[in-house]
Amino acid sequence: MKSFTIIVPFEEGLHARPASQLVKVCQSAKSDIKIIKGTTEVNPKSILGILTLGAKYNDTLTMEISGEDEDEVVQKINNFFEV
C-alpha cells in the first residue's frame, strides 16, 4: 500500500471540472484508491464522492492506494495535482 499527502493546488478547490478529470485518472486504475480529508474517506472513482469532500484550495488530502498498479497510479495522481 502506498500512502501520501497532496495539497489542493486549484484556487477554486476540487470542484466539478477537476473532480471529473481526477475520476478519469482513477477509473483506469486496477488498484483500490481512497482519498481522505479529516474523517471523510471517499473513492475517487466516483465524482460524487470527490465532491462530498468539499476540498478547498490548500486543503491537505491523504491518498491511499493498494493494488497491482499502485506505483503507476501514484505517479498519475501526482502528475494530476501538479499545476
Q: What is the CATH number of the domain that holds 20?
A: 3.30.1340.10
Domain count, the chain: 1
* Angle at alpha carbon of residue 62, lines to 19 and 11, rounded to 5°: 45
Q: What pTM was computed for the model?
A: 0.91
The single residue of 2, 15, 34, 56 carrying the catalytic annotation is 15
* DSSP symbol at 81: H
The pLDDT-based confidence of 83 (bands split at 50, 70, 90) is confident
Average pLDDT, the chain: 96
Domain coverage including residue 54: 2-81
Active site residue 15: yes
Q: Quick check: 63 and 3 in contact, CB under 8 A?
A: yes
Determine how many CB atoms are found less than 10 A away from the CB of residue 24: 11
**Tens digits of per-residue pLDDT, 4-35?**
999 999 999 999 999 999 999 999 999 999 99
